[in-house]
Structures are given as C-alpha cells and as structure tokens.
Amino acid sequence: MMCSDTVLRQLLPEQVAAVVIQEGIATQYPWTAGMYKDCLEAGYWVGALIERDTILGLAVVTSAVGEAHLLNMWVDLHRQGRGLGRTLLRAVIAHAEDTEASSLFLEVRLGNGRARNLYESVGFREIGLRKDYYPGVVGREDAVCMALNLKQAMRQG
C-alpha cells in the first residue's frame, strides 16, 4: 500500500549508491552501480518508488520500436508483501503504454514464484525459457520469459 507521502520519480544519479546498498539487502544478485549509471546515461526509465526520501523499490525499463522490456525490479526487503511490487509494476505498465509499446517483456528466475505470480496476476504470460540465464547459488538458474500484450490489456483494463 502506498501512503500519501509515496511518489514515483526518475532515479537521480546521486541516488545510485544508496540503491545498490538497498538492492543488495533485498536481492541475492543485485545490480552494480555501473549498471544503473549506464541505464541512466542511456535514457532508460528508472522509476524509484520513494517515501520521505527513502527508496522503497525500483524498476528499470527500456523501450524501442513498439516494445518495452522490464530489465530489473525490486522492493525494499522490509517492505515486501505490502503491495509495493504491484504498485511499481502498474507504474511500469503505464510507462510502457506511454511509450506506445504494444508489448512488455521480462525475464524472471524460474524459482521466484512470488514474482511470477505477481506478473501473471496482471496478465503476463510465459513465452519461453532461457536455460542457465541467471547466476545461482549452485550453478546457474533458468529464466522464464514472459510477455504482456499491452493492446489487449488496455482493452480489458
């Protein structure tokens, strides 16, 4: 749930260090500062869910030629399970629609059932599997490729 003090803003370069620390607590394989800086320099949408100067979650989206790709999304470890992921995902979808994308794609760890359930609940469907895509604790982990037909979602929504 978002409180009235929660806003969604483009991440600022000076916030990258704090984001890397927070994501490192929230996820097992966080992005590096360089990855975030590269995304910002490339003009990707890096939406930060912020409450009173605290970043609660973040999503990175790239868009081109009628397609959008969700590259990364996470929510602060201590605030998971409160609907913030759904709020952030809705913002991702709205951004993709604003860029006139007809489809939104993502990859998610095969073992991340919580995220897969969230994506499926808003209409994402599995379209494939990338073998050994992610680093794992032992070996590598497969990625489930998912897509959301934004034109269909807009008609249903």
What is the domain partition of the chain in residue ranges?
6-156
For domain 6-156, the CATH class is alpha beta
Active-site annotation holds for 107: yes
Active-site annotation holds for 36: no
Please report, for residues 17, 97, 109, 112, 146, the alpha-carbon distance to residue 116 in angstroms, rounded to integers and kept in the order given. 28, 21, 8, 6, 9
Instruction: Supply the pLDDT for residue 137.
Output: 81
Instruction: Supply the pLDDT for residue 1.
Output: 45
pLDDT tens-place values along the chain, 157 residues long? 455 678 999 999 999 999 999 999 999 899 999 999 999 999 999 999 999 889 999 999 999 999 999 999 999 998 988 899 999 999 999 999 999 999 999 999 999 999 999 999 999 999 999 999 998 888 899 999 999 999 876 545 4
Listed residue (130, 125, 149) closest to 140, CA to CA:
130
Out of 107, 126, 133, 141, pick the active-site residue. 107
Out of 119, 126, 133, 134, pick the active-site residue. 119
Q: What angle do CA 21, 23, 29 make, to 5 degrees?
A: 110
